[in-house]
Amino acid sequence: MVSPFAAAEEAAVLSRLSRLDRFLPAWILLAMAAGLALGRLVPDLNDALDAVSVGSVSLPIALGLLVMMYPVLAKVRYSKVTEVAADRTMLLTSLVLNWVIGPALMFTLAWTLLPDLPEYRTGLIIIGLARCIAMVLIWNDLACGDREAAVVLVALNSIFQIVAYSLLGYLYLHLLPGWLGLETDTLDVSLWEIARIVAIFLGVPLVAGWLTRVWGERARGVEWYETRFVPRIAPWALYGLLFTVVVLFALQGETITAHPLDVARIALPLLVYFGLMWTVSFALGVRLGIGYPRNATLAFTAASNNFELAIAVAIGVYGVSSGQALAGVVGPLIEVPALVGLVYVALWARGKFYPSS
């Protein structure tokens, strides 16, 4: 049972959120519905939106992601990043969660829940190997996580992603299934393709956010930047998120409505994955004595995935109409509402496990 103090703390945290933040689940649902409606009512919209791509990701989605990430990265106090990078406990824990537990859990869920659907199973494993670099910054910010820690962990994931993604793909799709007597697959993706996606979806907004803070503080001072500029740009992160959701659902509206059972089969292991990864990560952080802001960051970076990379790899290797590509697209469609729900779980857990924070 939740104590009155914890409930009051949770209510106090939620009351400090803006109206846009507090009702985000409702806006997400409306954005999903709007996207599905657009995709069904405008037959040529899919081709128009997908006509131009950035690294196999639709240009409108790419723009939405960049708009979404820039305000969050402009809020980061980059002078504190070095201090966060010295937290070896958090860094080591994050590496284990992201690159050992996460891929192994997705591999297990994919084979357990989709043993008869090899294309979808491979698509899920590809998602599990693509660790977070983008949307996690939004979830972390909404949950009052440590922004500086999020930047450090996302940067760390990016480096490991470039180096390890192809190797882990070989391990989980070919080597390990072979050892276990299961059906094997291959994953042919270049380091350049991975590096390009990381550079676009993390490098561009990261550099823009850093330059904005440097120039803003030098020109107008820290107080003006924190109290005047940041509040003005903050809502654009959620505007970018909602726009991205509309476009995602518009692009895949016909597929989702035409194959509802397939989408449901793919969604089940994803929901289990997001819930388990977040819960295990947060509980481990509490056990290790990591404070709430950094523990929230640890949990969200472990539970989130880089769907831009997963979609690009699935389309590039298996084709746009493949089951692997469908699984890659369903990934963010499930991740968005799941992680929004976990934001509220995090705010509740803050009051329960960190009553003095």
147-170 helix and 191-198 helix, angle to the nearest 10 degrees:
160
Nearest to 71 by CA among 247, 231, 304, 308: 231
Residue with tokens 């107008």: 220
pLDDT for the residue numbered 147: 92
Which residue numbers in the chain have pLDDT < 50?
Answer: 1-10, 12-15
Angstrom distance (rounded) from CA 351 to CA 113:
35
Nearest to 335 by CA among 316, 312, 313, 308: 308
- 151 CB burial (10 A radius; 0-12, 13-18, 19+): buried
DSSP one-letter code for 322: S
- pLDDT value, residue 50: 67
pTM for the complete prediction? 0.82
Distance between terminal CA atoms of the chain? 20
Q: How many domains does the chain have?
A: 1
Tell me what pLDDT residue 280 has: 97
Asked if 254 and 81 count as a contact pair (C-beta separation under 8 A), the reply is: no
Instruction: Provide the pLDDT for residue 57.
Output: 67
Q: What phi-psi label fits residue 183: left (phi over 0), alpha (psi between -120 and 50 degrees) or beta?
A: beta
pLDDT of residue 6: 45
pLDDT in tens, 300-349: 999 999 887 888 788 778 876 688 888 887 888 888 889 989 999 999 99
Q: In this predicted model, what pLDDT tens digit does every residue of 249-300 receive, in sequence order?
A: 887 777 777 778 888 999 999 999 999 999 999 999 999 999 999 999 999 9
Q: Can you spell out the DSSP letters for 6-55?
A: HHHHHHHHHHTS-HHHHTHHHHHHHHHHHHHHHHHH-TTHHHHHTSSEET
Which pLDDT belongs to residue 21? 65
* Residues in contact with 152: Cβ distance below 8 Å, sequence separation at least 6, in sequence order: 81, 84, 85, 91
Residue with tokens 């070919």: 174
CA–CA dist 129, 194 (Å, integer): 12
The token pair at 228 is: 């005047």
> Nearest to residue 327, comparing CAs of 249, 244, 232, 263?
263
d(CA 52, CA 20): 31
Q: Which domain holds residue 107?
A: 4-353
Domain of residue 182, CATH code: 1.20.1530.20
Is 314 within 8 Å of 126 (Cβ atoms)?
yes
